[in-house]
Amino acid sequence: MSSSSAATAGGRRNLYLPPPCHHLADYRSNAHGLAKPFRSLQPCLRVRPLSRPEIRRDPHEISRCGPCSAADSAGGGMGPRLFACLACAAVCCPAHAPSHADECRPGHEIAVDVDRAELFCCACGDQVYDREFDKAVVLAQIAAAAANASTSCPLPESLGKRRRVDYRPWAPDPQEWAAMRRGSSPLLLPDASDPSSAGTANTSTSSPSSPPWGLRGLNNLGNTCFMNSVLQALLHTPPLRNYFLSDRHNRFVCQQKGRRKKGSSGGSTGGDRRNPSGGSPVCLACDLDAIYSAVFSGDRSPYSPARFLYRWWQYASNLASYEQQDAHEFFISVLDGIHENVEQDRHKPQSQGNGDCCIAHRVFSGVLRSDVTCTICGFTSTTYDPCLDISLDLDSNHNFMNVPTMKSHACNGEKDLILSSQICGVSTLMGCLERFTRPERLDSDQKFFCQHCKVRQESLKQMSIRKLPLVTCFHIKRFEHSSIKRMSRKIDRYLQFPFSLDMAPYLSSSILRSRFGNRIFAFDGDDSDAATELASEFELFAVIAHSGRIEAGHYITYLRLSNQWYKCDDAWIAHVSENIVRDSQAYMLFYVQKTLYYKASEDVSAL
């Protein structure tokens, strides 16, 4: 590809462009810039909601190649790309565009794609970029989307820059070593000079005969497999694990602060969600810290998280029972409990969407973007919502276009071609994400009030991911509840999911780029620099699966530690193959950013 301007584009990010096209530079110098030619094209610019701009003299015009009369895709079928010469407006297909540029040169090398409003050099046979041209096209699209200033939706300040979390390995000093030896069973580091430490060093390998440190069963306390499965995933979430093992939340210090706060306030008044019975305040982060200490103590015998269950019952009293609960509901409740405790301890609580308020949101919080576009005038209403996970529909029988497309995803170093559509009773995670980000027409009873038309209109809604968290949790909707039929059912559809996942196609920047086309003008939401592209690659490290019926099922967790898979079935831990994990009925999938996954794959004893 070529460009008329090199180096950078856009004030918010660095964009490295290919070498400039000398044909475009000659055209600019001979035509006194692109302003005059584009002014002649501006009346021909047609913008449809949630689609790229087109060049048409008439909205219903069907462009055809002059030499061969080939029609574009607007004429039905899959026609070739057509280019209109900026000098003489002659329309040619890719086969005849070079000959037109050669016969009519100089000055006829640059053309515009009539279906995409993108510049093309017929002599070089490649797309070219110009900042002024792209800016004019993008601004025309924005102006066409809404006719007044209220259409602009400024980006929240909290989303201007995503927080970069640096990896800082920790090594204890002599005083910390002494404190650990006095208070707990330390994680022994292998000593090359000590022959007796050879067996200890081997205990931290990832071989099936020697499970990694921190892999410990959890006793079932009576229909608590939902809790055990989520706790196993949280205990081995790399950023969360590093946070608690580095003593960033010390339960003894937190409890002392709670007692001092209680004394300064003159005692408990009762009715506090953190202190419902007038006793010690409920801090789920402290109870989780206690579980981390027990699990990573080196003891392999199953652990009973009875205190955590009791404290969670105090926090979520409406769910306090020995009945089976939903694992996803428990997961959200625990994260909310950690967040609420930190928020009440802060003098100036931060917004939940900021993602920096507590460790739960620093790890799991992302931001979703929702665009609702009026189908009559094109006005777009954009909202940003924080999320702790992404819920995906599994059933493909409703409002799904069965058009199969092939995508290549890396899985453990191998390239697998996976059918992105959902066919033959099989769903794919990529297909679910495509459906999640695909524009959908809202029902007639869901018409939104258009600020431009001043009435309720039919609209299109499109979701995208504005900010990716460090750890992305996908909740698969396997349970359906119908209030009309008064029945519930479980969807047993098989789900294919990759071990390595690229989230770039589902980001807001990618969705907007597909809408605006390939531009070097930085429009709202297009901030995908090199760091963002790197952060879009994720690795699977935990799978929570549900087996059985909806009223009598069982939860288990599969953990990927040091590139080995382990099945955590309450108190039982077993090494399993990848095929066992792939064949499970996944209910929750946990992906961590690839750079953090490789650092998490290091020996835990080196932390």
442: left (phi over 0), alpha (psi -120 to 50) or beta: beta
Query: What phi and psi, each to the nearest 5 degrees, are found at residue 262?
Result: -65, -40
Strand partners, 467: 367
Q: How far apart are CA 105 and CA 287, in angstroms?
A: 76
Q: How far apart are CA 372 and CA 380, in angstroms?
A: 5
Instruction: Spell out the SS3 assignment of 332-385.
Output: HHHHHHHHHHHHHHCCCCCCHHHCCCCHHHHHHCEEEEEEEEECCCCCEEEEEE
Dihedral of the CA atoms 45, 48, 54, 59 (nearest 10)? -70
- Assess contact for 528 and 466: CB atoms under 8 A: no
Q: How far apart are CA 149 and CA 451, in angstroms?
A: 11
Provide the strand spans (E) within 86-233.
91-92, 110-113, 119-121, 126-129
395: left (phi over 0), alpha (psi -120 to 50) or beta: beta
Write the single-letter amino acid at 494: Y
Strands 426-428 and 414-419: unpaired
Query: Which of the 8 DSSP states describes residue 528?
Result: -
pLDDT, residue 555, reads 95
Say which residues have a Cβ less than 8 Å from residue 322's Cβ, sequence separation at least 6: 222, 223
CA atoms within 13 A on the CB side of 406: 4
Across 480-499, b (16+ Cβ under 10 Å) vs e yields eeeeeeeeeebbebebbbbb
pLDDT, residue 255, reads 78
The encoded tokens of residue 532 equal 């963002």
Query: Which of the 8 DSSP states describes residue 505?
Result: G
Query: What phi and psi, each to the nearest 5 degrees, are found at residue 347?
Result: -75, -35
**Longest CA–CA separation in the chain, Å:** 92
For the chain (607 residues), the mean pLDDT of every run of 10, in chain order, is 43 53 81 54 66 72 81 61 85 88 84 85 86 73 50 40 50 72 50 41 45 90 94 95 89 77 56 51 87 92 94 88 89 90 52 66 92 82 92 64 38 38 67 92 80 84 91 91 71 91 90 73 50 76 91 91 93 94 95 78 46
Annotated active-site residue in 104, 153, 411, 554: 554
How big, in percent rounded to 5, are the helix, strand and coil portions of the chain? 35, 25, 45
Query: What phi and psi, each to the nearest 5 degrees, are found at residue 142?
Result: -65, -40
Q: How far apart are CA 12 and CA 35, in angstroms?
A: 25
CA 351 to chain centre: 20
- The DSSP-derived string for 50-79 is TS--EE-SSTT---B-TTT--B-GGGSS-P
Taking Cα atoms as reference points, which of 417, 418, 411 lies closest to residue 539? 411
Query: What phi and psi, each to the nearest 5 degrees, are found at residue 158?
Result: -70, -15
Query: pTM of the full predicted structure?
Result: 0.70
- The DSSP-derived string for 440-466 is EEPPGGG-EE-TTTSSEE-EEEEEEEE
The encoded tokens of residue 575 equal 């090494």
- The DSSP-derived string for 108-151 is -SEEEETTT--EEETTTTEEEE-HHHHHHHHHHHHHHH-SSGGG
CA 136 → CA 16, 140, 514, 520, distances in Å? 21, 6, 17, 11
Q: How far apart are CA 65 and CA 571, in angstroms?
A: 71
Instruction: Spell out the SS3 assignment of 25-39.
Output: HHHHHHCCCCHHHHH
Query: What phi and psi, each to the nearest 5 degrees, are found at residue 182?
Result: -75, -35
User: What Rg value do the Cα atoms of the chain yield, rounded?
Assistant: 29
Strands 564-569 and 553-561: antiparallel
The encoded tokens of residue 377 equal 């005038």
Q: Exposure of 442 by Cβ count < 10 A (0-12 exposed, 13-18 middle, 19+ buried)?
A: middle
pLDDT, residue 296, reads 93
554 a catalytic residue: yes
- Assess contact for 114 and 54: CB atoms under 8 A: yes
Annotated active-site residue in 225, 283, 387, 473: 225
pLDDT, residue 549, reads 82
Reported as type and span, the H/E element at residue 314 is helix 306-315
The encoded tokens of residue 479 equal 């349970």
286 a catalytic residue: no
- Assess contact for 17 and 9: CB atoms under 8 A: yes
Give just the sign of the alpha carbon dihedral 432, 437, 438, 443.
positive
